[in-house]
Amino acid sequence: MSDTATDTETPHYGEPPRDASEILKRAKALAPWLREQSDRIEQNRRLPGDVVEALRDTGVFRMAFPASWGGPDLTSPEQTEVVEALAYGDPSAGWCAMIGMDTGIYASYLDEATAKEMFADQDQITAGLILPAGKAERVPGGYRLTGRWRFGSGVTHAEWVIGGALVYRDGEKEPSPTGGPAHWRQFFMPHEQVEIIDTWTTTGLAGSGSCDYTVRDLFVPEARSFRLSEPLSRKGPQSLPDAVLRNMPGVPLGLARAALDHFREAASQRTIPGSGERWSDNYRMQFALGELEMRYKSIRHAVYGHLDRQWERLSSVEDLDDLAPDERVEGSLIRLHAFREARAIVTRVYDLLASSAIYRPNPVDRWLRDATTMCQHIVTQDPFIQSAGAHLLGGRPEFPYSLGIVD
């Protein structure tokens, strides 16, 4: 199928952006073009090359690199705004941007000299699953890594691929350096050393290219592996284990806003068959829109209110263990709620538009499928809720990483 752009030309800048405001401005300017490419993105089942380069040109993939390294150094709230702006254009593009920009966060965990050598170009993209689906056997100078990971969003266009694994020594599972029963590490692999398995045939987020990937007996140098509890080259909020999760709500927020704006435009132009009453004058439509806006504004305020408070708080503590239990669970619960509420908003818009929602070029059907698929991600599942409740009661979280617990 064609990998050629259509309609208007994508904005192009040439020079890297200087700061958060410029990256956000570029993301917002790109969104209409991304909307035009949505059918092509979905049909391609991964981001076309020109879409990847257009995203790269916004600066989204460099936005977590620290100012001390010449990076834009965006805060988590600022990152989320950029992801939201891109997802407003196309959710798969926004999703891949959200994943791909983790490069600067992961770099914090490497030795500074190694990180600067690997990421001399700060616009490089990282993809992959951090959960321990692999096995890493210790060998001189590093590890022999074997594994197969799922949901590698953006793995088809990434320069670097991450894989989480448990460490073994002489065939036996190695305990954590902190005394835990298992040693969970992350491993950086060059894209060309990873086999991509094309499993991504889905109903939603089809353009994210979230394929499986695998390696067998791959040597990974010690310097290209890390523990999420041990940043080596940077301190502060961006080097804490939950940093890669914080900007995720930008995707459902952008998608829900797009659906609401589409409905408002449709409601301003339509009439009810038979009576001829304008939708804009109809009580049911007025009430429905008001209720949906209420729900949307509530989740958006909750997301950014929490992110702003959290960033300020994390800037003054050493690690997540310094947070009170209520502070620690807040982010995972608000994040999960934002995903589920966005899906509910899009579902309601779909119902209100009735049969017209199923026909192209109406985008609501795709948004509904995208929202449904993203709500199958682990961050929106019940173990996150159970883990929050368990933490508040002093019990055992089923999914400790949802609270930034990695040892």
Neighbours of 319 (CB within 10 A): 14
Q: How confident is the model at residue 362 (pLDDT cuts 50, 70, 90)?
A: confident
The answer as to whether 7 is a domain residue is no
The answer as to whether 139 is a domain residue is yes
Q: How confident is the model at residue 361 (pLDDT cuts 50, 70, 90)?
A: confident
Is 130:166 a contact under the CB 8 Å cutoff? Answer: no
Residues 303-354 have pLDDT tens digits of: 999 999 999 999 999 999 999 999 999 999 999 999 999 999 999 999 999 9
Based on the domain organization, do 159 and 220 belong to the same domain?
Answer: yes
The answer as to whether 13 is a domain residue is no
The answer as to whether 14 is a domain residue is no
Based on the domain organization, do 98 and 159 belong to the same domain?
Answer: no
Among residues 107, 135, 166, which one ends one of the domains?
107
The CATH number linked to 268 is 1.20.140.10
Based on the domain organization, do 253 and 392 belong to the same domain?
Answer: yes
pLDDT reading at 239 higher than 50:
yes
pLDDT reading at 8 higher than 80:
no
Residues 150-180 have pLDDT tens digits of: 999 999 999 999 999 999 999 999 999 999 9
Neighbours of 399 (CB within 10 A): 20
Report the mean per-residue pLDDT for the chain: 96
How would you classify residue 247: left for phi > 0, otherwise alpha for psi between -120 and 50, otherwise beta? Answer: alpha
Based on the domain organization, do 216 and 138 belong to the same domain?
Answer: yes
Using the 8-state DSSP alphabet, how is residue 140 labeled? Answer: T
Based on the domain organization, do 381 and 258 belong to the same domain?
Answer: yes
Q: What is the rounded CA–CA span in Å between residue 233 and residue 222?
A: 15
The answer as to whether 201 is a domain residue is yes
Based on the domain organization, do 174 and 272 belong to the same domain?
Answer: no
Provide the β-strand partners of residue 173.
Answer: 168
Residues 54-72 have pLDDT tens digits of: 999 999 999 999 999 999 9
The answer as to whether 209 is a domain residue is yes
Domain assignment of residue 322, given as a range? 249-403
Based on the domain organization, do 275 and 390 belong to the same domain?
Answer: yes
pLDDT of residue 13: 87
Residues 240-290 have pLDDT tens digits of: 999 999 999 999 999 999 999 999 999 999 999 889 999 999 999 999 999
Q: How confident is the model at residue 9 (pLDDT cuts 50, 70, 90)?
A: confident
Percentage of residues of the chain with pLDDT beyond 90:
93
The CATH number linked to 191 is 2.40.110.10
pLDDT reading at 5 higher than 70:
no
Based on the domain organization, do 201 and 302 belong to the same domain?
Answer: no
Residues 124-155 have pLDDT tens digits of: 999 999 999 999 999 999 999 999 999 999 99
Q: How confident is the model at residue 3 (pLDDT cuts 50, 70, 90)?
A: very low
Tell me how many degrees the CA angle 315-318-322 measures, rounded to the nearest 5: 100
Q: How confident is the model at residue 2 (pLDDT cuts 50, 70, 90)?
A: very low
Residues 91-104 have pLDDT tens digits of: 999 999 999 999 99
pLDDT of residue 7: 57
Q: What's the sign of the alpha-carbon dihedral 350, 52, 215, 135? A: negative
Residue 330's SS3 state is helix
Residues 6+ apart with CB under 8 A from 279: 266, 267, 268, 269, 270, 271, 272, 285
The CATH number linked to 58 is 1.10.540.10
Based on the domain organization, do 324 and 212 belong to the same domain?
Answer: no
The answer as to whether 243 is a domain residue is no
The answer as to whether 305 is a domain residue is yes
Based on the domain organization, do 302 and 391 belong to the same domain?
Answer: yes
- The total number of structural domains in the chain stands at 3
pLDDT of residue 107: 97
Mean pLDDT in residue range 192-218: 97
Using the 8-state DSSP alphabet, how is residue 16 labeled? Answer: P
Based on the domain organization, do 367 and 267 belong to the same domain?
Answer: yes
pLDDT reading at 37 higher than 50:
yes
pLDDT reading at 86 higher than 50:
yes
Based on the domain organization, do 151 and 218 belong to the same domain?
Answer: yes
